[in-house]
Structure 1
Amino acid sequence: MIYMLLRGMVIGSEAMQIEADAGKNIGDPLLSSSLFLATFFFFAYFWRRIGQTLGMQVWRIRIQNPDGFKVNWSQCLLRFFGAAVSAVCLGLGYLWVLWDKEKLSWHDRFSLSRVVYVPAPPSEKKKKK
């Protein structure tokens, strides 16, 4: 959004409308790069900080190293690209957990990380009873 606002200020909204009508902004490399970086940093920030994105918190799963510590930036990058490869291969990398002895996906293996379940806090266990 910031990129589009800045671009509109530079070339004008009329020029942007003409480009949009002609379909020229579909392959904009700067926009594509910005979206890629924003997506990567969203996931990497949460994986590095607490091991979970917002959705992962709901599902009570977390990303961590095999020794239980938080993943580092290089692991986040490998995991991000590995997940893209898993998806491009028609989801086979995600489905791999069904056949893997350790229940690891391709991006788990690429990044040397694990998805683990987070137990419910004691206060929530009491509410269910």
Structure 2
Amino acid sequence: MSAKASFSHSLPSRWRRFSSMMYEGVLLFGLVFGVLLVFDFLTQSRHALMLRDARQVILFMAIGLYFLLSWRRSGQTLPMKTWSLRLVTADGHKLSWPRALYRYVLMWILPLIYALGVQVLSSYTGYSSTHLLIVFAPLTLFIWTWFDAEQLFLHDRIAGTRIVDIRPHLKT
């Protein structure tokens, strides 16, 4: 009986996508820190509220550049490589630049709606500590997976992309 290695293109569990997302957050912390360090040096900003809008635009672009370059080159960020995940189109091909950009913009929608809800709740209750609920914003991406037949993220469903499991499996 000979065993032949092949790659499965099944969809990974929520747990594996969540684990990759948490690892991604650690790496993004470093990216955000580095980008803001350079930004503050160049603009001579003395606190985070100086040039707040410009700071947010720069971060959106820097994080987007990180994701787009990773997705376009190999379909994987470092955490996705660690967890043997790859981002592909619905038919299994590499993402084009426009599709990668489309997916990047779409993936912000649910977390931003949640962030707006946190802001409204905080204003309504008068408790500034309610703002701490913002840490759960990235997890809103998983809500749609419980309603989707293939457990895809909403932004993947709309963009025609999917994250696939690329772990080698032995076939007999």
User: Same fold by TM (over 0.5)?
Assistant: yes
1:1-129 maps to which residues of 2 (within 5 A)? 1-8=37-44, 16-17=45-46, 20=47, 24-25=49-50, 28-88=52-112, 89=114, 91-120=139-168
What is the TM-score normalised by the length of structure 2? 0.56
- For 2:76 and 2:169, how far apart are their aligned partners in 1? 16
- 3-state SS of paired residue (1:116): strand
What is the TM-score normalised by the length of structure 1? 0.72
Shift of 1:110: 2.1
Shift of 1:108: 0.4
- Point out where structure 2 has 5 or more consecutive residues left out of the alignment: 1-36, 115-136
Note the alpha carbon deviations across 1:36-79, whole angstroms, 9 max, x for none. 10000001110010001111111111100122111112222221
Paired residue type of 1:106: L
Note the alpha carbon deviations across 1:15-35, whole angstroms, 9 max, x for none. x44xx3xx641x522222111
Runs of 4 or more above 3 Å deviation: 88-93
Moved more, 35-44 or 97-106: 97-106
Moved more, 85-94 or 107-116: 85-94
User: Whose helix proportion is higher, 1 or 2?
Assistant: 1
Q: Is the 8 A contact 1:86 1:93 kept in 2?
A: yes
Shift of 1:92: 4.1
Moved more, 98-107 or 49-58: 98-107
Aligned residues between the structures: 110
Superposition RMSD in Å: 2.2
Bigger relative contact order, structure 1 or 2 (CA pairs below 8 A, ≥6 apart): 2
